[in-house]
Structure 1
Amino acid sequence: MIRLIGKRLLEFIPTLLILSVIIFLLQRLLPGDPAIALAGEEAGAELIEQIRQQYGLDRPLPLQYFDWIGGVLQGDLGQSMRMRRPVLDLIASRLPVTLQLAVMAMVLALGVGLVAGVIAAVKKRSAWDYGANVFALAGISVPNFWLGIMMILVFSVTLNWLPASGYVSPFEDPARSFLSLLMPSIVLGSAIAGVIMRHTRSAMLQALQSDYVRTARAKGLDEKTVVIRHAMRNALTPIITLGALEFGSLLGGAVLTEQIFNIPGFGKLIVDAVYNRDYAVVQGVVLVTALVYVILSLLADIGYMLANPKLRG
């Protein structure tokens, strides 16, 4: 197990280096000049050139990359041109917000998706099965932005039950913090719950038809023990990968939802940075998101081995 983890860590180093090059080069393909965006359209050529020199934008691209990656290796992601703050500080202030939203959405998605998938598999071709599939299809098909707007209209404007937008830190008021993120987490979690439900149902159907489940039933074990201890444990392996990847997508892809609900998280930070051509912020956020994916992939491998002892050898 330790050898496998060490092997994965060695594979992640070149992966992150290649990703850093791609992130750096793709950022430079964005239209517009960051110096002009910072100085303003009516700024003089002297001021624009001064900004380019200040942030190293006048240097060749290879030198700019090595300067940036050298700082990254020392824990310095650069400084935001627009906000004049270290990128690491901006990420540290925004990441907990998106992390809280992602955790709430993932807990909802796993709670609903796993339960619905198991019930649909155990009660195959019943009303429960058809209902769960309709729910999954609706969750996958309905666009996040439309669902978010409809929820604001119903629960905020009409019923006045939940705040329409904004964010409250859990350290200030845990109850208000939960309520401020409840609708966004439902919007994000509904689609993932549908995907998890479909995968759980498929994996459970395959597990329930396996030889070890028939053997467990032949021994006289009750159906609840057969489903939970034997079938579900083996069916969890593909769900672990799916859950890790979906959680990573929540951290990096909640852009529309954060914009709709005016949540100051990762998504809003990167949208503002792209709009302002703030290279350092975009590079830092995308690199951190890639690093999160790498860590989640490693945790998924560990989860495999914990769920299925046969993989530990």
Structure 2
Amino acid sequence: MVRVLVRAIISLLASAFMGSIIVFLLLRMLKGDVATVILGQTATREALEALRAEMGLGAPLLQQYLEWIGGVLQGDMGTSYAAEFDIAHEIWVRVPLTFTLAFSSLIISVIVALVLGTFSAIHVKDWRGTWVDILSQIGIAIPSFWLGLLMVTLFAVHLGWLPAGGYVPLTEDFVRGAKSLTLPVFALAIPLSAVLVRYVRSGMLEVLDEDFIRTAQAKGLTLRRAAWRHGIRNASIPLVTITILQLGSLLAGAVVIENVFTLPGLGRMLVVAVGGREPLSVQSLALVLMLMILTLNFLMDIAYGLLDPRIRDSGRSAPMA
């Protein structure tokens, strides 16, 4: 397990370093002058030159990167040119909301997938399993933002059970905060659950054909009890794999959902930064979102080691599907 942990840490650090370079270079490869983008076409030459000097745009790329990443490592991501706020502080304030939204959706999706996927595999030959398959196909086909709008129309507008948008911090009022997150969390969780159910079902069907399941049944356990007691751990391994692959889509969906429900998270900040021509804010936000995905990948690698004894004992990385 120690080897798995060391490999995961090395992979995390190397990926973060390469990702920071890619984020930096991609924004530098965009067409147009950054100073002109910020100040507009009507800006004077003196104003443009002053802004270029302030942003260090005349320095070599390596120097620009080292200054930027050095500031990031010290917690200094620069200052917004339009709104004049500290970017690092603004991101730090918004991270908990985005992480809560994504992590809550992920937990709900995994739980729902384990329950419904196992249920579908146990009842694969009757109508109950068929209905789970139909519902999962519908869930896969519905985009999260459209589902969010439907949920707002039903639960906020017609029924009035939940707020249509806005956010109350959980630390201020837990009940109101939970209500403000309910719709966006489920708008993200339902499509992801539909994807994960298919993989749990497939994995559980393979597990149910294993000898140890038949042995458990021979000792008196029903198929359902044998599946939950002995099969769920083995069936969870493909679930971890596909969950890792869905993390990027989950955070991308969170960016959209935050704007649908006007939540003051990183996604909302990113859209405002793009619309307000804030390349430094966009660059820093892209880096933070990438680091969030890498951190979740790191946690999933550790989960592999805990779930699969072969990985834990050998110290090898789990194969990616």
What's the TM-score, normalizing by structure 2?
Answer: 0.90
Is 1:15 paired with 2:38?
no
Structure-1 residue corresponding to 2:176: 176
Q: Aligned partners of 2:176 and 2:8: how far apart in 1? A: 41
**Structure 1 regions of 5+ residues with no counterpart?**
none
Structure-2 residue corresponding to 1:240: 240
> Residue deviations 1:49-69, cap 9 Å, x none?
212211212333232112112
Q: Percent identity?
A: 39
Please say if residues 245 and 293 of structure 1, whose CA atoms lie closer than 8 Å, have aligned partners that are also in contact: no
Please say if residues 139 and 190 of structure 2, whose CA atoms lie closer than 8 Å, have aligned partners that are also in contact: yes
Please say if residues 12 and 295 of structure 2, whose CA atoms lie closer than 8 Å, have aligned partners that are also in contact: no
**Structure 2 regions of 5+ residues with no counterpart?**
314-321
For structure 1, which segment, 168-177 or 268-277, has the greater mean C-alpha deviation from structure 2 after superposition? 268-277
Please say if residues 200 and 239 of structure 2, whose CA atoms lie closer than 8 Å, have aligned partners that are also in contact: yes
Q: Aligned partners of 1:32 and 1:167: how far apart in 2? A: 37
One-letter identity of the residue aligned with 1:274: V
Shift of 1:239: 1.2
3-state DSSP of counterpart to 2:131: helix
For structure 1, which segment, 51-60 or 70-79, has the greater mean C-alpha deviation from structure 2 after superposition? 70-79
Please say if residues 23 and 287 of structure 2, whose CA atoms lie closer than 8 Å, have aligned partners that are also in contact: yes
One-letter identity of the residue aligned with 1:11: S
For structure 1, which segment, 15-24 or 74-83, has the greater mean C-alpha deviation from structure 2 after superposition? 74-83
Change (3 A) 1:249 1:146: closer
Q: Aligned partners of 2:97 and 2:27: how far apart in 1? A: 25
Structure-1 residue corresponding to 2:155: 155
3-state DSSP of counterpart to 2:221: coil
CA RMSD after TM alignment: 2.0
Change (3 A) 1:33 1:276: farther
What's the TM-score, normalizing by structure 1?
Answer: 0.92
Shift of 1:73: 3.0
> Residue deviations 1:116-142, cap 9 Å, x none?
111000001322111111111111101
Equivalent residues in 2 for 1:127-138 (5 A)?
127-138=127-138
Q: Aligned partners of 2:265 and 2:279: how far apart in 1? A: 18
Q: Aligned partners of 2:10 and 2:156: how far apart in 1? A: 49
Shift of 1:309: 2.5
Q: Aligned partners of 1:11 and 1:305: how far apart in 2? A: 15
Shift of 1:229: 1.9
For structure 1, which segment, 140-149 or 216-225, has the greater mean C-alpha deviation from structure 2 after superposition? 216-225
Q: Aligned partners of 1:31 and 1:277: how far apart in 2? A: 14
> Residue deviations 1:230-273, cap 9 Å, x none?
11111111212333443454334422211111111111111222
Q: Aligned partners of 2:108 and 2:10: how far apart in 1? A: 34
Structure-1 residue corresponding to 2:91: 91
Structure-1 residue corresponding to 2:6: 6
Is 1:46 paired with 2:43?
no
One-letter identity of the residue aligned with 1:170: L
Please say if residues 144 and 253 of structure 2, whose CA atoms lie closer than 8 Å, have aligned partners that are also in contact: no
Change (3 A) 1:203 1:57: same
Equivalent residues in 2 for 1:246-265 (5 A)?
246-247=246-247, 249-265=249-265
Please say if residues 117 and 199 of structure 2, whose CA atoms lie closer than 8 Å, have aligned partners that are also in contact: yes
Shift of 1:48: 2.1
Q: Aligned partners of 2:293 and 2:165: how far apart in 1? A: 28
Is 1:146 paired with 2:146?
yes
Q: Aligned partners of 2:88 and 2:255: how far apart in 1? A: 19
Shift of 1:209: 0.6
